[in-house]
C-alpha cells in the first residue's frame, strides 16, 4: 500500500529555519501580515517577503494560493513556499493551502511553519492527501516521499487532533491504490487477500467463496463471473466499535475488477479504464480501514462483491434469466449492466444477516451518471430523506461533490420484464435512475437506503480537489464523516 507521508509535530524553533533542507513553507495573510516565523524568514532573506508584499503580488492571489521561490537566498532549502491564508481561514481555505503544498512538495522534506495557523490539521490533511503518487509499477521511481515537520503551537494537542485525519488519509490512499491497480495485479483473489490483511488492524474479515455463494443462492452475483477464470467472491468486513447488539450501518460495494461488458462487449476505446470498475468496493474497503485506524465508536459492516466480467463459452448471455438470493428472477438484457446484479445479492445478504440501521451502496454503475453530472458530483438516490440528507451534509462538509436525483414508479416500470420478475436494463433514458430502481427492488421494507453512483468521480482524467489525475478516493472522507455524525454523536 502507498504510505501517506509521515508527519512530525514540534515546537517552533526559529534557529532551525535557516538550515532546513528540502522545502520551507511560511504563511502570510492576504493583507501582508507575517507571524514570528515569517518575520524570521524575511530577515534571513534580507527583506524578500516584505518586497513581495509591497509589489502588490498578493492582490492577485486568493486564500489558499501559493507563491514558490526556488533556491531562496539566506536559506539552505531548495524552495520557499509562501502560503496566502487569513488568520481565521476556513476549513476549505486551510485544506486548499495544504493541497498547494502537497502538489509542489514532490519527494523533498517539508518544514511547515504553522504556529499561527487556526486549523493546522486541515492544512496538513490537504498536503498529505495531495502528495499521493501511485508508483508500484514504475521501475525508476520510489514511493517514499520526504517527511513533513510541522512547527505548531501546542504540538502534542495538534498531533492528537491530527491522528483521526491521518487515519482518513490512510483509508483514502488504500482506496486510490485499489482503484489504480491494473486488473492483472488486482484479481478477485488479490483483492480479497488485501481485505483479509486488514484483520491485523482489528477488522473481522470473512471471505465467501463460490461454493458459499451458491449455497446462499446468489445467482445474480455468480452470473456476472461465469465467463471468467477468476473466482467470484464476497468479502465482509466488520467493525464493532459501538455498543454491543446495536445494529450496524451497512456499506455495500461493487467490486468488478475488470469489466469487458461480457457478451455485450464494450468498444475497445477506453476499455483500459475498466480496471476502476471496482471503485465502489475500493471506497468501502478504504472507509473500513479508516474506521479501524481511528477506533471509531460505531458498528459498521462493509460488504463487497468481487467478480470479473469476461466473455467466454461459459459467460452469461443476453436473454438469460438468473435467480437472485431474494428469489426474484432477472432477465439479463445487457451483460454490461452487471454491477446491479452484483449489488442486488450483496445488499440482500447484508439486510438478511445484519438488519442494519441503514444501508449505503456504492458503484461505478452507469455512464449516464457522467452524462448527467460530469465529474463534479456523484449521483445520490435514496428512499429515506433523513439518511440521504445526513450523507449530503457530510459530503458537503468534506468537499466531495454529491447531487440527489429522483426515484419513482414511472422509472421502476421501465424495468419490468415480459419473461421474468425484472430485467437488468431499462434502456438509455434516465439510465442512472432506472439502475437505482432496479436496486430499490432489493431494499427490504422499512430499510433506509442510499445509492451512490460514483462512475464520474472514482477516477478522472484531471486533478481533483485533493488528488492528482487518476483515482480520487472520493467517498472515504464523506462516509467517515457520516459515521461520526450519525453513530458517534454525543
| C-alpha cell at position 63 | 486564500
Catalytic pick among 233, 340, 423, 481: 340
Mean pLDDT of 41-49: 97
pLDDT higher than 80, residue 386: yes
Distances (CA, A) of 418 to 385, 399, 410: 33, 44, 17
Per residue in 274-293, pLDDT (tens digit) is 999 999 999 999 999 999 99
Is pLDDT at 341 greater than 80 in this prediction? yes
Exposure letters 392-413 (e unless 16+ CB within 10 A, then b): bebbeebbbbbebbebeeebbe
Query: Which band of pLDDT confidence, cut at 50, 70 and 90, is reported for residue 337?
Result: very high
pLDDT score at 124: 98
Q: What pLDDT, on a 0 to 100 scale, did the predictor assign at position 106?
A: 86
115-141: pLDDT as tens digits: 999 999 999 999 999 999 999 999 876
From edge to edge, which strands make up the β-sheet containing 204-208? Answer: 204-208, 233-240, 299-309, 249-259, 358-363, 449-453, 378-382, 402-404
Pairwise CA distance, residues 240 & 249, whole Å = 11
Q: Is the pLDDT of residue 143 over 60?
A: no
| pLDDT level of residue 142 (50, 70, 90 thresholds) | low
Q: Is 348 exposed, middle or buried (0-12, 13-18, 19+ CB in 10 A)?
A: buried
Which listed residue (39, 43, 266, 441) is catalytic? 266
Distance CA 479, CA 394 (A): 7
C-alpha pair distances (Å), 73 with each of 15, 47, 420: 16, 10, 75
CB-based contact 188:232 (threshold 8 Å) = yes
Q: What is the pLDDT of residues 437-476, one digit of tens each?
A: 999 999 999 999 999 999 999 999 999 999 999 999 999 9
In DSSP terms, 379 is beta-bridged to 403, 453
**What is the pLDDT at residue 489?**
75
Mean pLDDT of 226-242: 98
Rounded average pLDDT over 141-146: 64
- Write out the H or E segment, with its range, that includes residue 409: helix 409-413
pTM of the predicted model as reported, rounded to 2 decimal places: 0.97
Q: Taking 70 as the threshold, does the pLDDT of residue 27 lie above it?
A: yes
In the chain, CATH 3.40.220.10 covers: 7-153
Residues in the chain, total: 490
CATH number of 7-153: 3.40.220.10
294 noted as active-site residue: no
**Could you give the 3-state DSSP secondary structure of residue 479?**
helix
Respond yes or no: is residue 103 known to be catalytic. no
CA 405 to centroid of chain Cα atoms: 21
CATH architecture of 172-487: 3-Layer(aba) Sandwich (3.40)
Q: Range(s) for CATH 3.40.630.10 in the chain?
A: 172-487
Task: Report residue 400 as a C-alpha cell.
Answer: 466531495
Amino acid at each position: 500500500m502507498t504510505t501517506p507521508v509521515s508527519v512530525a509535530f514540534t515546537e517552533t524553533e526559529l534557529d532551525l529555519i535557516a538550515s532546513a533542507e528540502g522545502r520551507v513553507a511560511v504563511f502570510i495573510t492576504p493583507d501582508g501580515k507575517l507571524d514570528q516565523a515569517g518575520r524570521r524568514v524575511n530577515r534571513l532573506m534580507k527583506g524578500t517577503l516584505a518586497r513581495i508584499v509591497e509589489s502588490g503580488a498578493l492582490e492577485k492571489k486568493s486564500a489558499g494560493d501559493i507563491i514558490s521561490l526556488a533556491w531562496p537566498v539566506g536559506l539552505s532549502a531548495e524552495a520557499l513556499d509562501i502560503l496566502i491564508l487569513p488568520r481565521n481561514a476556513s476549513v476549505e481555505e486551510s485544506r486548499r493551502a495544504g493541497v498547494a503544498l502537497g502538489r509542489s512538495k514532490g519527494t523533498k522534506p517539508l518544514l511547515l511553519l504553522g504556529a499561527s495557523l487556526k486549523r493546522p490539521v486541515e492544512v496538513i490533511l490537504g498536503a498529505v492527501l495531495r502528495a499521493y503518487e501511485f508508483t508500484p509499477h514504475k521501475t525508476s521511481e520510489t514511493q517514499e516521499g520526504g517527511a513533513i515537520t510541522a512547527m505548531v503551537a501546542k504540538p502534542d494537542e495538534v498531533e492528537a487532533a491530527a491522528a483521526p485525519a491521518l487515519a482518513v488519509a490512510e483509508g483514502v490512499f488504500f482506496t486510490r491504490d485499489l482503484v489504480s491497480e491494473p486488473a492483472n495485479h488486482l484479481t478477485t483473489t488479490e483483492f480479497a487477500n488485501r481485505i483479509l490483511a486488514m484483520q491485523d488492524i482489528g477488522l473481522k474479515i470473512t471471505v465467501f467463496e463460490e461454493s458459499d455463494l451458491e449455497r446462499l443462492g446468489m445467482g445474480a452475483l455468480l452470473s456476472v463471473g461465469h465467463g471468467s477464470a477468476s473466482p467470484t467472491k464476497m468479502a465482509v468486513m466488520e467493525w464493532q466499535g459501538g455498543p454491543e447488539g446495536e445494529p450496524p450501518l451497512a456499506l455495500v460495494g461493487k467490486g468488478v475488477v475488470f469489466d469487458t461488458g461480457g457478451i455485450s462487449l464494450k468498444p475497445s476505446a477506453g476499455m483500459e479504464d475498466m480496471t476502476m470498475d471496482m471503485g465502489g468496493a475500493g471506497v468501502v474497503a478504504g472507509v473500513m480501514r479508516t474506521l479501524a485506524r481511528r477506533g471509531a465508536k460505531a458498528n459498521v459492516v462493509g460488504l463487497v462483491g468481487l467478480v470479473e466480467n469476461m466473455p467466454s463459452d461459459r459467460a452469461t448471455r443476453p436473454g438469460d434469466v438468473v435467480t437472485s438470493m431474494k428469489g426474484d428472477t432477472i432477465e439479463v438484457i445487457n451483460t454490461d449492466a452487471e454491477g446491479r446484479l452484483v449489488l442486488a445479492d450483496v445488499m440482500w445478504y447484508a439486510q438478511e444477516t445484519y438488519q442494519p440501521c441503514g444501508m449505503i451502496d456504492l458503484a461505478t454503475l452507469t455512464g449516464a451518471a457522467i452524462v448527467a453530472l460530469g465529474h463534479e458530483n456523484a449521483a445520490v438516490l435514496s428512499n429515506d430523506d433523513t439518511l440521504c440528507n445526513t450523507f449530503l451534509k457530510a459530503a458537503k462538509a468534506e468537499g466531495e461533490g454529491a447531487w440527489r436525483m429522483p426515484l419513482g414508479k414511472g422509472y421502476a416500470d421501465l424495468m419490468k420484464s415480459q419473461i421474468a420478475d425484472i430485467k437488468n436494463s431499462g434502456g438509455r433514458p434516465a439510465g442512472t435512475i432506472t439502475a437505482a430502481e432496479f436496486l430499490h427492488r432489493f431494499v427490504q421494507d422499512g430499510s433506509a437506503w442510499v445509492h451512490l453512483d460514483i462512475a464520474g468521480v472514482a477516477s478522472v482524467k484531471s486533478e481533483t480537489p485533493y488528488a492528482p489525475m487518476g483515482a480520487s478516493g472520493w467517498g472515504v472522507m464523506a462516509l467517515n464523516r457520516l459515521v461520526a455524525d450519525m453513530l458517534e454523536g454525543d
